[in-house]
Amino acid sequence: MIQKVKKEGKYNYIEIGEGTPIVVLHGLMGGLSNFESVATYFSEKGYKIIIPELPIYTQSILKTNVKAFARYVKDFITYKGFERVILLGNSLGGHIALYHTKMYPEKMLGLIITGSSGLYESAMGDSYPRRGDYEYIQKKAEAVFYDPKIATKEIVDEVYAMANDRIKLIKTLTIAKSAIRHNMAKDLPKMFVPTGIIWGENDSVTPPDVAAEFHKLMPNSSLYWIEKCGHAAMMERPDEFNKAMEAWLQKVNL
């Protein structure tokens, strides 16, 4: 990413633009650069985009769960001095954003989720990375996208390195179990924060019926579909994602 990562105390983050704060939460395998298009586009539209590095592999095993990550996000928002924010999350980041919204609704202006876990128990993957099997890892990475070419060698190498790091693998499994344990189905009908749901029509990780279920259960939600698109819409179809997000922001006056 063009922007330099700021390091302040326990927080590492990217910050660009001025205006209403949009805090962006990456997924389990996601990097800050996954949101480069979002950051560039909306920082020029009157928003401050902040993308913190989540402590997915750096906290103790007892704090490696959805609830602890939601608390981390709340502490970060407080540290930055924001009264209320819009949260945008992909995959695990979406689940953390949902849980943060449940715990701290007073901190929320709005919520945007894309390819989010929180409902679908296999959202973290129905099989876990096999150590030492590069071809398997490559196929799993390609399956995240509608167009497998989006899974560059750099992306595959990153997932492969994680799968071969014993501590990271244990923490990945711990997070997967936490995602199942923190199912949001009973909470969603009580969450009235304006919510934009932006989903790839060809998402095989969190299939389209998951988006439809989120929309059905959340009383103040709007659903946007992106054609020929998998699990990471903001990477695979950045222009369409930004248009959908902008349409939602205008609709709810944020």
Condensed to tens digits (0 to 9), the pLDDT of residues 181-226 reads 889 999 999 999 999 999 999 999 999 999 999 999 999 999 999 9
pTM here is 0.93
Give the pLDDT band (50/70/90) at residue 126: very low
Q: Is the dihedral of CA 235, 242, 25, 88 positive or negative?
A: negative
| 17, 43 contact by CB (below 8 A) | yes
| 31, 40 contact by CB (below 8 A) | no
| 129, 157 contact by CB (below 8 A) | no
Encoding tokens for residue 251?
A: 């609709």
Condensed to tens digits (0 to 9), the pLDDT of residues 27-58 reads 887 777 889 999 999 999 999 999 999 998 88
